[in-house]
């Protein structure tokens, strides 16, 4: 592992902890050259399934792209970064468990929309506007009304902290 400060290739592990995320290891490292410390998170590299886009194109699943999309929907909301990581981790684990080499982007989008619905209603609406193609105020209002009816049936508002 290269030091991010001086780029020395000779760093040493001083502490190792399993991450809260499944399948990850967090390592505290020190560079003997510049004596600075840094943290790395290591996770196994899985063969990423190909994502079949709406227009038929195929591209490799990109965890960081998924996280960025969710972060955009959650911008300026009081949602802990750990909750977003957990959502991405759950989606990634479900995709890996399917064991398929190709997955429609719609399936991933459905998982995101379901996770955001539980996590934060405003982030859900933001994502739904793009994902569901809500192109006018009436369609957005209908989705908000559906969300409010669902909340009334469930009997409790979304807290913004998400499920554990």
Q: Which residues form the domain of 32? A: 12-42
Q: Is residue 6 situated within a structural domain?
A: no
Overall pTM surpassing 0.75 (yes/no): no
Domain shared by 149 and 97, yes or no:
yes
159 falls within a domain: no
Judge whether 63 lies within some domain. Answer: yes
Residue 15 near residue 38 (C-beta atoms within 8 A): no
- Mark whether 21 and 79 lie in a shared domain: no
- In this structure, the answer to whether residues 64 and 94 fall within a common structural domain is yes
Regarding whether 84 and 110 lie in a shared domain, the answer is yes
- Residue 17 belongs to some domain of the structure: yes
Q: What is the pLDDT, as a whole number, of residue 19?
A: 63
Domain count, the chain: 2
List pLDDT tens digits, range 99-141.
899 999 999 999 999 999 999 999 999 999 999 999 999 999 9
Domain identity same for 36 and 110: no
Pairing of strands 102-104, 50-52: parallel
Same domain for 135 and 119: yes
Neighbouring CB atoms inside 10 A of 32's CB total 10
Work out whether the CA dihedral 106, 108, 110, 112 comes out positive or negative: negative
Confidence of residue 156 (pLDDT cuts 50, 70, 90): low
């Amino acid at each position: 592992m290269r030091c991010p400060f001086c780029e020395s290739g000779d760093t040493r592990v001083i502490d190792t902890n399993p991450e809260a995320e499944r399948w990850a290891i967090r390592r505290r490292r020190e560079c003997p050259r510049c004596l600075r410390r840094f943290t790395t998170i290591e996770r196994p590299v899985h063969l990423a399934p190909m994502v079949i886009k709406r227009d038929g194109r195929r591209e490799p699943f990109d965890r960081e792209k998924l996280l960025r999309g969710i972060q955009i929907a959650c911008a300026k909301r009081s949602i802990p970064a750990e909750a977003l990581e957990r959502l991405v981790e759950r989606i990634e684990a479900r995709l890996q468990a399917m064991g398929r080499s190709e997955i429609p982007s719609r399936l991933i989008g459905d998982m995101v929309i379901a996770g955001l619905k539980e996590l934060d209603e405003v982030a859900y609406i933001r994502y739904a506007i793009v994902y569901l193609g809500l192109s006018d105020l009436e369609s957005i209002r209908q989705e908000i009304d559906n969300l409010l009816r669902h909340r009334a049936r469930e009997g409790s508002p979304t807290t913004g902290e998400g499920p554990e």
